[in-house]
Structure formats: C-alpha cells, structure tokens
C-alpha cells in the first residue's frame, strides 16, 4: 500500500532478478531482440523491453550517463548496464563490458564516472576506459555519494541490528529460529536483522567512520529509501540526512522522520553544535535531537492504537511537523536545504510539501502551498532561487516550478507522467517520462515561464524496435457524475484496431494505495496497453482517495474504505455500460491489487450481478486480521481509525470493521482469482489464501496463484510471465465465452 515510485521499482527488480552466481557462471544478458508474429502486445514483448532507471548529467551538461536493465525470461535474471550519450541524445554507447551488473553512476568530474560493481565503488573514464576499484569493503557498499570536492564519499552499508531480533546463540549457528522482542521485526519482504548506516570515507587518509555510530536508527529509511535521503553541502563540509529516531513499537506507529545537518569535520554526533535537527530546530536535543513524547490533554501518554489525527494532542513546541521529512538537497550556493515534508504523524499519504530551510536566517518556509497536491520529485535551479518539481494534477504527473516566495507555475500538460528530473545545465533539465502506451525514456526539457513556452524533446528510444511493431490502444478521458454530485475523471482505454460497432469485454480497474494516482503510469504487470491488446476495454476511474484532485478528495478515503469510494467504482462502470455502446454489460470484470484487491473482495459481495469474474492481487480480505498482521502499524491506525479490540472505538472504525470483505462472503456468487506473494509482509499471504479458501468452501469457482518468493510485487521474469498468462487465462475463460 505505497505510492508508486518508479525508481524504487527499478531497484527492487534489480535486487530480485540478479541472483548470486559467480562471475564465471554468469550469462551476459543483453538487449532482447523480438520479432512479433502480430502487432499486439504480449507478456513476452513486455518482458523483452529494456528499462531505464537512474541517470545523471555531467557537471558541464554535455553528457548523460544512464542505467539500463535487460531481462531474460530464460535465465530468470536481469543485467544492469551503464550507457553514455551526448546531452542531445546522440552518440549513445554502452559502457558495461561484461556480465556483471554496474549501477548507480555518478560523475566525479566532466571526464570521470563513479559506479557500483559487486558491492564496491569503481571509477572509469568517459568512454569506459581506465577502470579502477576505489573501495575495498568485501562487497558491502549498497549505495554511495561523492562529496563535491571528490575527496570523500558517503557509503551506505548494513550493520548488524539485534535490538528487535536477538542474535543467534553461538553454539546454534544453523538454527533458523528467530527470537523476537518487539514490533518491526520484519519490513516489506525481509526480517530486520540488519539496518543501513551512512559511513564517510576520506580517500586521502583512508579513514572511514559511521556518522550514526552506536545509534539503533536506520539511515536511509526502510523499506525503499536510498542515497537520495542524504546530501552533501556544496563546500563538502556538511551532510544533510534523513532519519526516524525510533525503533520497535514506536517505529511501527509513527512516520515522524527528520532532516539532520551533520558537520563532517566535527565527528561528535551528540553535540548539538554539530548535529542540528532542521525540522525541530528549537527542540531539546536528546539523542540525535529528536526525542519527544506526545500526550493527551489530560497528561496521559497517547494510546498507540489510537490514530494521532483524532486524539487531542499537546506536543511540546507546537507547529513542528511530525510526519515524513525526507530527501534533502542543498541549493547550489549552499544557503538553503530543501526537502519533502508531510505535516501529520502516522499519515503516509499526507500532502508532501516542498520545504526550504534558510541556513543563514534559521527559518523554514513551504513553497508549494498554492498547489493542492503532493510534490513527488524536485531539483534546484542553478540560481538557488528557483526549484523545479513534479506533481500530479488531474491524473497526469506534470512539471512545475516555484520560487522561494512560493509562486508556483505549471510547465507541462501532456497525457503522460514525468517520473523524475534533474538539472542538465544552466537553462535545461533532463527528465524521465512515460505513459499508458510508452515505457520510460529520457527527455530534454527547456523550461519556460508557462506551458506554452516550455520545450520538451525525447532523447532516448530504448524500446523503439519493439514499440514500432505494436499497434497502440486509444486513450480517452470521461468525466463521470458520482452519486454525491461530483465529477470524476475516468480513463477509457480502447483496444488496438478498435471497432465501435462491436461489443467488447470490459474491465473495471481498481487502484491500489489507497492514495495512489490513476495517472499515466507504465507498469510491467498492471499494464493497460497489454490489457487492451488482449481485446479488453479498460475503465480506470480516479475514485475518491486518489491524489491530484485536491486534499479533500484524497482524504475522503481514510476511515471510509467501503463508502463513497465503492460508489465511485460503480458509478464509473455503470456510466460505461449506459453511455459507451461498445461496452458489453454481460461481460464485465473487476480487477485490482493492494487496496484494489481489497476493493475487488468487497465488490464481490456487493456488485449486484454486474460482474462475471474478479481478480484480486495482494488484497486485504479480513481487516481485523490485517490490523495486527501488517508491519507498518501507522497505516492501519490511520486508515481504519482505531484498533478492533477497543470497545470505545470511533463510529468510522466500527464501520470499517463491520464492512470488512470477509463478512460478506455469504453473498459471493462470482468466479474469483486470488493472487498473493508469501514474502508480502505489508498484506500477508494469509489474506489471499483466506479469500480463496472461502470461495471454494462456498462452492464458487476460484483459483489461487501463490508466489512463495515474491513480495507485494512480482519481480522475477518467469513469475511475471506466469502472472500475465494466469491473469488473461482467467479473464478469457469468463469474459470471452
């Protein structure tokens, strides 16, 4: 139940697919060539595509180094390689020479690139020559960032962490048992027996030290944080970093992270003069400067099973944001630190604002307040007074800019999503962009002052050979009237070679999150192009709870999962049946993952005969069980409003539990496919198994696709192909009779 972060997905795919073979045994997986028999997207075509992930422009803006992932279904692995090109996209050249993956490229100067290979930092010349290993850590480096002067680097490495899970007895080295003493003993898809810390290495002296030495806190933060959660100051003297100073139960119920400023030469973490909390700069400085306790008005400590939003809270030093703060970046002149900031504790989908801290004046301001949506990525302009950023509005992730006074201007308005951006040179940006029909590519952006005078040009076409063989679906927008009189934007995706005189089987797509945008995303699983290419019309509503339509629209989902949101789904499919003559009302299906899977399980008991089949992937089925099964307890605290065992729970909490899908299995009457990964610790596999078992015990046609080695996503190539084949076989069986 996370916001979609494409760079995170790319990293996860890399980790899942690479394997641990010896170099001599590795197959050099290269760019896949594919000659299709027809012009329709297939699962094999989808997995043959190359995938751009990280990229960085040289300091002089003349070159761009970027990372590409090649996937082999036969080998069930991927290979991450580095490419170089001129800033205009010309003279593209692969730098990686062998079967070993090379990642995380970073410029040391205009002629030298640092990169990660087999857990060590290397460097090479502009053309891939002069390769040299820079670190010797026995393969322990998991991320890195060089200081601007090139003399030092931050190295991310894991350290043993035995505070939650006890260290195994020395005389039982082969035991698989784990003795657990507190919550957060597992996160996303792994047990927490180690955490990452940032180390600083001085290449002149060889000295290396942990800037969080002795602290039980992680940096970057689990489960998706990386090197983007730290930043060097332009003078190489300070590091800004993200940290949530909590462990165990405290960690599991709180999203309160902060940005800290660490003076590298000081080396004294517990000295307030050298480690400053920029988020709570007036707070008493305990360990790391972030100890605090929240109390009820009557002085009693907060009940961890009650959400912070509905309790009377008296926190020391009012006005301090206590939500997520992450991803700091210094302005080029070193005066400011910017970061992404959420205001409320425990609310992972709160509006993510762009915060600016003035290191000279010791003041903090927010510069995107006029935009009623979240900032998803950003970068400083060279003038240190302008910031460019990405935000979703009306189902598109567009480019914006703001100044230090908070004057926001929109710079693009395409039916597409920008996934990330960074400065190319004094006047231009390089950005990643994708859509329902186009996987990620890199684009040159010359930002103007308005949409009209902003220039955008594609500079890579990494999948042109495959895309040129494919017929594209048509994309339309509809504004649908909801049951409470609102207007809801709904995407309609039509099959290639669409014939308006025909009737088509139609899918209602239920989005996850629940606070995830139904924007122009490209997915290697929930891919609208392949759904349409298999002969289905797709109806994808931006129902209550998604971002991009204002905070009020987004927040109506929390505490009301089965209320207006479900009515919005039905409004979308009913509108399609009534007004789109090519939609076959007798061949409707509903599909979705995560919160979308929950939606499918709920609709299965409330659809009143609309649908002929369902597919739910990694969905919540029993909310009482889910409350204590999930690892990040702040999520269920906020979304459900209360613990199920509290007798004085709120009316919204009672409504949530009373409307859990498992309570309506007696009304199920429609075939259902349940899919789940057993390493999904966000929504445990017992949820999917329980739904499948219940359906079969009711005598309902059902199928279970279970992946013992997958998490909340499906990351391995052969598992991905099996997922697609099973998905479409189920739909075809019930909707193409």
676: annotated active-site residue: no
Q: Angle at the Cα of 489 (from 485 to 493), degrees rounded to 5?
A: 135
> CA quadruple 702, 707, 710, 714: dihedral positive or negative?
negative
> How many Cβ atoms are within 10 Å of 580's Cβ, its own excluded?
17
- What would the DSSP string read from start to end of 127-187? TS-S-EE---SSS---EEEE-TTSSEEEEEEEEE--SSBPPPPTT-TT-----B-SS-SEE
Instruction: Report the run of H or E that residue 326 belongs to, with start and end.
Output: strand 325-330
Question: Which single residue is written with the structure tokens 């489960």?
Answer: 223
DSSP 8-state symbol, 642: B
Show contacts of 22-29: CB within 8 Å, 24+ apart: 23/98, 23/99, 23/100, 26/99, 26/100, 27/72, 27/75, 27/77, 27/99, 28/79, 28/98, 28/99, 29/70, 29/71, 29/72, 29/75, 29/77, 29/78, 29/79, 29/99
The catalytic residue among 197, 607, 662, 712 is 712
Query: Which residues touch 24 (CB under 8 Å, ≥6 apart)?
Result: none
Helix 564-579, helix 595-604: angle, nearest 10: 70
Query: Which residue among 641, 642, 680, 690 is the active-site one?
Result: 680
Alpha helices, H only, 355-493? 464-467
- In degrees, rounded to 5, the angle at the alpha carbon of residue 221 between the alpha carbons of residues 215 and 222 is 115
Is 50 known to be catalytic?
no
Peptide bond into 220 cis (omega under 30): yes
Measured in Å, how far apart are the chain's first and last C-alpha atoms?
34
Q: Which two tokens stand for residue 442?
A: 């890199």
Phi-psi region of 128 (alpha: psi -120 to 50; beta: other; left: phi over 0): left
Q: Which element (helix H / strand E) includes 589? A: strand 583-593
680 as an active site residue: the answer is yes
Structure-block tokens of residue 541: 């509503």
What phi and psi, each to the nearest 5 degrees, are found at residue 44? Answer: -65, -35
**Nearest-CA neighbor of 496 among 45, 1, 3, 21?**
45
The catalytically annotated residue of 53, 374, 594, 599 is 594
3-state secondary structure of 604: helix
CB 544 within 8 A of CB 556: yes
User: CA of 50: how far to CAs of 77, 156, 463, 603, 652, in Å?
Assistant: 13, 27, 6, 36, 46
Residues with a catalytic annotation lie at 594, 680, 712
């Amino acid at each position: 139940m996370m916001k979609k972060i494409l760079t995170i997905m790319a990293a996860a795919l890399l980790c899942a697919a690479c394997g641990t073979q010896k170099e001599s045994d590795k197959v050099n997986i290269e760019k896949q060539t594919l000659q299709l028999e027809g012009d329709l997207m297939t699962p094999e075509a989808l997995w043959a595509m190359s995938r751009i992930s990280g990229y960085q422009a040289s300091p002089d803006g003349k070159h761009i180094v970027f990372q590409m992932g090649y996937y082999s279904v036969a080998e069930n692995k991927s290979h991450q390689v580095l490419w170089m090109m001129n800033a205009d996209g010309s003279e593209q050249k692969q730098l990686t020479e062998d079967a070993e993956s090379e990642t995380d490229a970073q410029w040391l100067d205009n002629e030298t690139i640092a990169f990660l290979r087999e857990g060590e930092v290397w460097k090479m010349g502009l053309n891939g020559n002069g390769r040299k290993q820079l670190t010797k850590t026995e393969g322990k480096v998991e991320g890195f960032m060089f200081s601007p002067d090139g003399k030092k680097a931050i190295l991310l490495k894991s350290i043993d962490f035995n505070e939650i899970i006890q260290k195994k007895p020395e005389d039982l080295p082969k035991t698989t048992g784990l003795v657990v003493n507190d919550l957060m003993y597992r996160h996303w898809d792994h047990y927490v027996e180690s955490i990452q810390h940032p180390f600083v290495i001085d290449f002149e002296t060889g000295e290396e030290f942990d800037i969080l030495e002795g602290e039980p806190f992680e940096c970057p933060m689990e489960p998706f944080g990386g090197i983007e959660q730290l930043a060097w100051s332009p003078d190489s003297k300070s590091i800004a970093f993200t940290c949530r100073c909590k462990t165990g139960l405290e960690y599991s119920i709180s999203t309160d992270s902060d940005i800290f400023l660490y003076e590298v030469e000081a080396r004294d973490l517990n000295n307030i003069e050298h480690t400053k909390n920029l988020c709570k700069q007036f707070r008493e400085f305990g360990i790391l400067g972030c100890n605090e306790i929240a109390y009820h008005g009557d002085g009693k400590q907060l009940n961890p099973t009650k959400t912070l939003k509905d309790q009377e809270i008296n926190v020391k030093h009012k006005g301090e944001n206590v939500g997520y703060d992450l991803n700091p970046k210094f302005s080029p002149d070193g005066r400011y630190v910017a970061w992404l900031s959420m205001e409320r504790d425990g609310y992972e989908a709160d509006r993510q604002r762009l915060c600016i801290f003035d290191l000279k004046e010791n003041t903090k301001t927010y510069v995107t307040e006029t935009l009623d949506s979240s900032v998803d990525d950003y970068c400083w302009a060279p003038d240190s007074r302008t910031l460019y950023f990405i935000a979703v509005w009306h189902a598109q992730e567009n480019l914006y800019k703001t100044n230090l006074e908070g004057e926001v201007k929109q710079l693009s308005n395409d039916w597409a999503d920008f996934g990330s951006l960074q400065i190319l040179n004094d006047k231009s940006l390089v950005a990643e962009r994708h859509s329902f029909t186009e996987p990620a590519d890199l684009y040159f952006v010359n930002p103007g002052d308005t949409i009209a005078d902003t220039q955008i040009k594609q500079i890579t076409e990494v999948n042109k050979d495959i895309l040129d063989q494919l017929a594209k679906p048509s994309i339309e927008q509809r504004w649908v009237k909801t049951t409470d009189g609102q207007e809801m934007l709904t995407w309609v995706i039509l099959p290639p070679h669409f014939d308006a005189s025909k009737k088509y089987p139609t899918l209602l797509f239920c989005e996850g999150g629940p606070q995830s945008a139904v924007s122009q995303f490209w997915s290697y699983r929930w891919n609208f192009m392949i759904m349409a290419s298999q002969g289905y019309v797709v109806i994808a509503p931006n129902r209550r709870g998604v971002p991009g339509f204002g905070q009020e629209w987004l927040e109506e989902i929390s505490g009301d999962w089965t209320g207006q949101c479900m009515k919005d789904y039905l409004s979308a499919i009913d509108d399609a049946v009534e007004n789109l003559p090519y939609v076959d009302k007798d061949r409707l299906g509903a599909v979705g993952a995560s919160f979308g899977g929950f939606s499918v399980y709920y609709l299965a008991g409330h659809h009143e005969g609309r649908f002929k089949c369902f597919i739910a992937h990694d969905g919540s089925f029993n909310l009482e069980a889910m409350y204590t099964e999930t690892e990040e307890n702040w999520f269920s605290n906020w979304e459900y409003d209360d613990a199920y065992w509290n007798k004085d729970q709120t009316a919204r909490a009672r409504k949530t539990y009373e409307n859990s899908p498992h309570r309506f299995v007696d009304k199920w009457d429609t075939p259902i496919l349940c899919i789940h990964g057993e390493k999904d610790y966000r929504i445990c596999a017992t949820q999917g198994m329980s739904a499948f078992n219940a359906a079969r015990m009711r005598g309902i046609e059902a199928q279970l696709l279970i992946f013992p080695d997958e998490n909340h996503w499906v990351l391995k190539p052969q598992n991905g192909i099996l997922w697609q084949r099973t998905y479409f076989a189920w739909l075809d069986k019930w909707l193409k009779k």
